[in-house]
Amino acid sequence: MADKRMTEAEVISRLRSGMTVGIGGWGSRRKPMSLVRALLRSDVTDLTVVSYGGPDVGLLCAAGKVRKLVFGFVSLDSIALDPHFRAARQSGSIEVAEYDEGMLQWGLYAAALKLPFLPTRAGLGSDVMTYNPGLRTVADPYGGDELVAMPALRLDVALVHMNRADAAGNAQFLGPDPYFDDLYCLAAEQAFVSCEKVVPTAELTATAHPATLRINRMAVTGVVEAPGGAHFTSCTPDYERDEEFQREYVRAAGDPESWREFERRYLTGPESRWPIPNLEVPA
Amino acid sequence: MTGDSTATRAEVCVTAVVDAFRDDGEVLASAFGTIPAIGVRLARHLYAPDLMISDGESRLVGGTWAVGTRPEGDLEAWVPFRTIFDLVWHGSRHVMMIPSQLDVHGNMNLSAVGDYHKPKAQLLGVRGAPGNTVCHPTSYWVPRHSTRVFVPKVDMVSGVGHDRARAAGPGATRYHDLRVVVTDLAVLGFSAEGRVRVRSVHPGVTVDRVRENTGFPLDVPDDVPETRLPTVEETRLIREVLDPKGLRDREVSG
């Protein structure tokens, strides 16, 4: 099996401005934050971002990287709204394609299966149809209802964070929910998986059920070992959300001065360091 | 049965939620907000043992536990988000969501207030509201009944109301089922034409007060009953088992 291990910087070196990037996780849960930070430090911009959004979206909006956001919500879970996403929307600085959560899954699934669209009731009658004027309905060829034809959301790149992976890209979730990370990977030309720990293949299922191996190596381009890589979002059972740091993020976003300080300390300053706490990740 | 006259407004709201879910049978009862969470657990405990309830993450669990604490009942199902989406589209769910705006036809907004392309206030996004409302029963919880929430026209239709469902055709109406709107002042339903109609006002609330706090003409029957008081057993369970810390009073006071 090919050894696909690489660094965050190597992942980002394969990205180009203008690409469509899908980001796994959900809200403020298991987001590939170390990959997002590497993206913030790069020159790559003008991105279309597809996400069940959390602070990944907030940070990319704050850095001016987002041309268009494809989303169903943006939330920090324990804090309802992300301040940077709100600011970006309220200044009219980003384009959006807003879909029902299930439609977003359907779009990724259609792309994963190389189908042009998948039918659904979700969206009918709502302003999702109004504000996505390209969205079409389709007649049931068997004589039933007219349904929404949710178009495939094809991704140039997927960035996801898992609990464990092997060097070839077989990747495992150990928390309560796989979210949609496997669909992001299948929907993408290139998929990059960061994880808390890279382990020998046999170790993945030493104690865990094989059903936790949600992502298969044939869908993975690169693997990054990133202990604490989801911080400050949750990566259960390795660590929960760092609520205190999330509050600091939200407070800092409250005014430009404190946000510049936050960036200088944690993101883009020459001495910046993301404050990943000491995480005892079990073998 | 006479009700418990010591019941607070929050406790009356809980029982209105109970009554919204008690006849649902074997479905997933998804409730957003403190009072709805207390209400569905109380409904299951006393009247609707077949209801299925989430721990808020990815598990359906049995038992009756206090809001703000972890459940201790038996884990009976694993429902990651993709399984929730399956259940939504399957229709075996009754959701109670908290609208940012709601109009006379039952259209609901969770997304953005003001001009969509440059909103005055960006909210969460549509979340699952478009799919929920055309796939399974949907109710709403409004902790503060006001003209900010009850508006003549919502700015972004996230949850689909009766007029919009009709206009979209059978694909949208087939499983469209708006049930109840519980507020801190009243219980609302929908008329045969699909317009918001008063079902009952909470004890101590006048119909005029409900009208004044609603930003569209309300359909009001000639005789408006009072929302029932909780029973003594219901208030005991709310106070001792479901919400001993009184979190409900942070959502609705008085």
Band of pLDDT at residue A270, cut at 50, 70 and 90: confident
Specify whether the CB–CB gap between B233 and B143 falls below 8 A: no
Q: At residue B220, what is the residue type?
A: V
Q: Kindly list the residues from chain B whose CB atom is less than 8 angstroms away from the CB atom of residue A71.
A: 125
- How large is the average pLDDT for residues B60-82? 96
SS3 B182: strand
Band of pLDDT at residue B127, cut at 50, 70 and 90: very high
- How large is the average pLDDT for residues B154-171? 98
| Minimal-distance CA residue of chain A relative to B123 | A81
Query: Cβ separation of A125 and B111 shorter than 8 Å?
Result: no
pLDDT per residue as tens digits for the range B19-42: 999 999 999 999 999 999 999 999
pLDDT at res. B60: 98
Give the number of C-alpha atoms closer than 13 A to the C-alpha of residue B13, restricted to the C-beta side.
Answer: 29
Query: Cβ separation of B124 and A137 shorter than 8 Å?
Result: no
Torsion of CA A215, A218, A222, A225, to 10 degrees: 40
A275 or B78, greater pLDDT: B78
Report residue B208 as tokens.
Answer: 């005029």
Query: Cβ separation of B134 and A125 shorter than 8 Å?
Result: yes
Give B211's DSSP letter: H
CA angle B6, B10, B13 (to 5 degrees): 105
Query: Cβ separation of B122 and A85 shorter than 8 Å?
Result: yes
| pLDDT at residue A282 greater than cutoff 80 | no
Query: Cβ separation of B118 and A92 shorter than 8 Å?
Result: yes
pLDDT per residue as tens digits for the range A149-159: 999 999 999 99
Helix (H) or strand (E) holding B75: strand B75-78
Whole-angstrom distance, CA of residue A47 vs CA of residue A157: 11
Mean per-residue pLDDT over chain B, rounded? 97
Report residue B47 as tokens.
Answer: 């009247």
Query: Cβ separation of B131 and A100 shorter than 8 Å?
Result: yes
Whole-angstrom distance, CA of residue A261 vs CA of residue A253: 10
Alpha carbon of B66: minimum distance to chain A alpha carbons (Å): 19
Burial class (CB in 10 A: 0-12, 13-18, 19+), A274: middle
Burial class (CB in 10 A: 0-12, 13-18, 19+), B204: exposed
Q: How many CB atoms are located within 10 Å of the residue B194 CB? A: 18
Query: Cβ separation of A98 and B123 shorter than 8 Å?
Result: no
Give the number of C-alpha atoms closer than 13 A to the C-alpha of residue A255, restricted to the C-beta side.
Answer: 2
Query: Cβ separation of B85 and A178 shorter than 8 Å?
Result: no
Report residue A109 as tokens.
Answer: 């699934």
Listed in order, strand segments (DSSP E) in chain A are 20-23, 47-53, 66-74, 95-98, 117-120, 136-139, 146-151, 155-165, 171-172, 188-198, 222-225
Listed in order, strand segments (DSSP E) in B14-117 are 28-31, 59-61, 75-78, 93-97, 101-102, 108-109, 112-113
Substitution target from A29, A91, A100 for chain B, most B beta carbons within 10 A? A100
- How large is the average pLDDT for residues A80-93? 98
Query: Cβ separation of B170 and A145 shorter than 8 Å?
Result: yes
Report residue A25 as tokens.
Answer: 């996780």
pLDDT at res. A281: 58
Query: Cβ separation of A122 and B131 shorter than 8 Å?
Result: yes
Specify whether the CB–CB gap between A50 and A244 falls below 8 A: no
pLDDT at res. A47: 98
Query: Cβ separation of A92 and B158 shorter than 8 Å?
Result: no
ipTM above 0.85, yes or no: yes
Specify whether the CB–CB gap between B14 and B67 falls below 8 A: no
Substitution target from A91, A126, A240 for chain B, most B beta carbons within 10 A? A126
Specify whether the CB–CB gap between B39 and B14 falls below 8 A: yes
Specify whether the CB–CB gap between A52 and A26 falls below 8 A: yes
Which residue reads 């609990």 in tokens? A163
Dihedral sign for Cα atoms in the order A166, A171, A176, A181: positive
Give A218's DSSP letter: G
CA angle A162, A168, A171 (to 5 degrees): 20
pLDDT at res. A277: 77
Residue A232, preceding bond cis, omega within 30 degrees?
A: yes
Whole-angstrom distance, CA of residue B165 vs CA of residue A24: 32
Pairing label, strands B137-142, A20-23: unpaired
Q: At residue A241, what is the residue type?
A: R
Alpha carbon of B131: minimum distance to chain A alpha carbons (Å): 4
Alpha-carbon Rg for chain A in angstroms: 19
Q: Kindly list the residues from chain B whose CB atom is less than 8 angstroms away from the CB atom of residue A75.
A: 124-125
Nearest to A63 by CA among A41, A91, A35: A41
What is the phi/psi pair of residue B98, to 5°? Answer: -105, 105
Substitution target from B111, B136, B164 for chain A, most A beta carbons within 10 A? B111
Specify whether the CB–CB gap between A158 and A187 falls below 8 A: yes
Mean per-residue pLDDT over chain A, rounded? 96
Q: Kindly list the residues from chain A whose CB atom is less than 8 angstroms away from the CB atom of residue B122.
A: 81, 85-86, 89-90
Alpha carbon of A268: minimum distance to chain B alpha carbons (Å): 27
Q: Kindly list the residues from chain B whose CB atom is less than 8 angstroms away from the CB atom of residue A180.
A: 81-82
| pLDDT at residue B128 greater than cutoff 70 | yes
Whole-angstrom distance, CA of residue A122 vs CA of residue A182: 22
Alpha carbon of B115: minimum distance to chain A alpha carbons (Å): 9
| pLDDT at residue B142 greater than cutoff 90 | yes
pLDDT at res. A87: 98
- How large is the average pLDDT for residues A47-67? 98
Q: Kindly list the residues from chain B whose CB atom is less than 8 angstroms away from the CB atom of residue A91.
A: 118
pLDDT at res. B214: 98
SS3 B173: helix
pLDDT at res. B56: 87
